[in-house]
């Protein structure tokens, strides 16, 4: 990928199993492993076992013979919940296995922590308190902060507002950088809110207000403050498109085309979105006799949104006093967190951090975002005195986080008291199947972890990291974090070492 990161029926599988195994496995994992929708996952991790009968090898370790039933996981369903009755791995036996796999290829070294998710017992600790550059594993902090501060069901609004001057329409950004240029796609995350839909609704609003003369489009992107680029980012990374200047509205997560994940980005993503909106408004207004003046400008200082009061990020719309002509809403925060974890999206992560800051009453700037995210760690009782964060995407070696801190964040997501964090679990890439782990765990040394390990990846030139969760062979839920620093650039054995180590956890019946 990039430098920083780089449904069901009861029909038997029988003769069709060869064609549908990937779908079966992924569906079964989502339903049977951890049910990470929130309400179902907590009892699954913490509640008593439904069957007193011991199981030699749990169903989570087996390829299902049939597709999951629609009510799987509920009463009478085909998936049993995980239980704290499963044996905890013996720490010494586990360490023996992990010490054999967690080795650097060339220079550098690995630190790591493995914990029992239910009790928090530390089962493996190699330099777990040593702070290191975590690369994109730092995105886990923003994911947790966004779910706690904004809530998994929050949506961001992009509005067309009547300006103070007659015949002006102000496109007002409210934090949605996953806008689509076309019609809104209600079932999508990227493109859930479409500018063509907003333009059509805006024409209707103008007609209702009796506007018939030429319309001028202005842009209000004042929700964010401070420099649009973090001083911690190298110009080379910006030029390569690892990240771009941050604005509270953008098309395709500040990419020129949907689905593009590499290469240069628009330097002014907000203006690019505003120009796309003006083009759609021109097309939609033609049939109604409404013309649009060519060109888009930013709102004058005298028309900018008033200062927000603390905690007033909820409207996410810039706070203008004019009449709202039309608006479109983003995918939920929970869905966006899933996307940023699965694809390791730098731009979306940084924007989400600024939205957390705005909702926390802090400036929606780089410094405000970092402060707001670290505040949420403290509220989660995760010690962060030693933690240093220069950005939230993980593009700089200036970030310093320990494996114990990252493991604690994952544990809070899996079994912590705040059920809002469960929404992050579905976004963790699945080994050999999805996201940044989709092309890994494909050889015999890592096959034991394929489909079972779920973890956030992280990669810089001399850094590699992996933090996530897995159910071992005995049915025990484990959380882990491994960080390699000062590694030989390009050494293939380092990624393999991480994958073999996580696979050893999945296969562990360590007693």
The reported pLDDT for the residue numbered 510 is 82
The reported pLDDT for the residue numbered 287 is 86
Classify domain 91-150+336-507 by CATH number.
3.40.710.10
The reported pLDDT for the residue numbered 511 is 79
The reported pLDDT for the residue numbered 33 is 40
Burial 433-451 (b: 16+ CB within 10 A, else e): bbbbbeebbeeeebebbbb
The reported pLDDT for the residue numbered 509 is 81
Q: Which residues contact 487 (CB under 8 A, 6 or more apart)?
A: 104, 105, 106, 107, 108, 462, 463, 464, 494
The reported pLDDT for the residue numbered 340 is 97
Summarised one tens digit per residue, pLDDT across range 230-269 is 999 999 999 999 999 999 999 999 999 998 889 999 999 9
The reported pLDDT for the residue numbered 43 is 36
Summarised one tens digit per residue, pLDDT across range 299-350 is 986 655 444 443 444 343 344 458 999 999 999 999 999 999 999 999 999 9
The reported pLDDT for the residue numbered 259 is 86
The reported pLDDT for the residue numbered 187 is 96
For the chain, what are the domain ranges? 91-150+336-507, 157-331
- The residue ranges of the chain whose pLDDT is under 50 are 1-58, 60-81, 305-320
The reported pLDDT for the residue numbered 230 is 96
The reported pLDDT for the residue numbered 350 is 98
The reported pLDDT for the residue numbered 14 is 37
Q: What are phi and psi of 421, to 5 degrees?
A: -70, -20
């Amino acid at each position: 990928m990039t430098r920083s990161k780089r449904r069901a029926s009861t029909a038997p599988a029988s003769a069709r199993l060869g064609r549908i195994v990937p779908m079966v496995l992924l569906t079964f994992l989502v339903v049977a492993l951890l049910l990470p929708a929130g309400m179902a996952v907590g009892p699954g991790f913490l509640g008593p076992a439904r069957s007193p009968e011991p199981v030699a090898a749990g169903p989570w370790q087996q390829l299902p013979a049939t597709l999951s039933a629609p009510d799987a996981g509920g009463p009478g369903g085909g998936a049993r919940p995980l239980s704290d009755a499963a044996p905890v791995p013996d720490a010494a036996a586990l360490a023996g296995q992990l010490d054999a796999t967690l080795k650097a290829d060339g220079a550098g070294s690995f630190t790591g922590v493995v914990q029992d998710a239910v009790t928090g017992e530390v089962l493996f600790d190699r330099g777990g308190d040593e702070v290191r550059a975590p690369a994109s594993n730092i995105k886990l902090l923003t994911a947790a902060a966004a779910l706690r501060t904004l809530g998994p069901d929050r949506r961001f609004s992009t509005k067309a507002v009547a300006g103070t001057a007659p015949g002006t329409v102000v496109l007002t950004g409210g934090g949605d950088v996953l806008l689509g240029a076309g019609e809104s796609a209600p079932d999508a995350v990227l493109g859930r809110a479409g500018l063509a839909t907003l333009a059509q609704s805006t024409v209707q609003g103008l007609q209702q207000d009796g506007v018939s003369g030429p319309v001028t489009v202005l842009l209000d992107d004042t929700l964010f403050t401070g420099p649009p680029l973090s001083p911690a980012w190298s110009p080379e990374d910006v030029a390569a498109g690892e990240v771009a200047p941050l604005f509270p509205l953008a098309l395709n997560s500040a990419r020129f085309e949907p689905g593009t994940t590499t290469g240069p980005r628009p330097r002014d993503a907000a203006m690019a979105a505003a120009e796309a909106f003006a083009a759609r408004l021109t097309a939609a207004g033609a049939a109604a006799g409404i013309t649009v003046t060519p060109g888009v400008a930013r709102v004058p200082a005298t028309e900018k949104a008033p200062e927000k009061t603390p905690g007033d990020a909820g409207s996410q719309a810039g706070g203008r006093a004019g009449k709202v002509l039309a608006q479109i809403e983003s995918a939920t925060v929970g869905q966006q967190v899933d996307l940023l974890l699965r694809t390791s999206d730098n731009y979306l992560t940084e924007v989400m951090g600024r939205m957390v800051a705005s909702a926390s009453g802090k400036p929606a700037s780089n410094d405000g975002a970092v402060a707001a995210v670290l505040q949420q760690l403290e509220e989660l009782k995760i010690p962060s005195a030693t933690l240093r964060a220069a950005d939230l995407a993980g593009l700089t070696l200036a970030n310093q986080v320990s494996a114990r801190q990252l493991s604690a964040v994952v544990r809070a997501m899996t079994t912590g008291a705040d059920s809002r964090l469960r929404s992050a679990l579905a976004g963790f890439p699945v080994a050999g199947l999805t996201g940044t782990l989709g092309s890994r765990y494909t050889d015999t040394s890592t096959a034991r972890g394929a489909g079972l390990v779920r973890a956030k990846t992280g990669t810089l030139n001399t850094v590699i990291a992996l933090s996530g969760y897995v159910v071992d062979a005995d049915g025990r839920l484990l959380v882990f974090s491994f960080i390699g620093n000062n590694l030989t650039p390009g050494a293939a054995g380092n990624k393999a070492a991480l994958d073999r180590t996580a696979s050893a956890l999945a296969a562990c019946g360590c007693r």
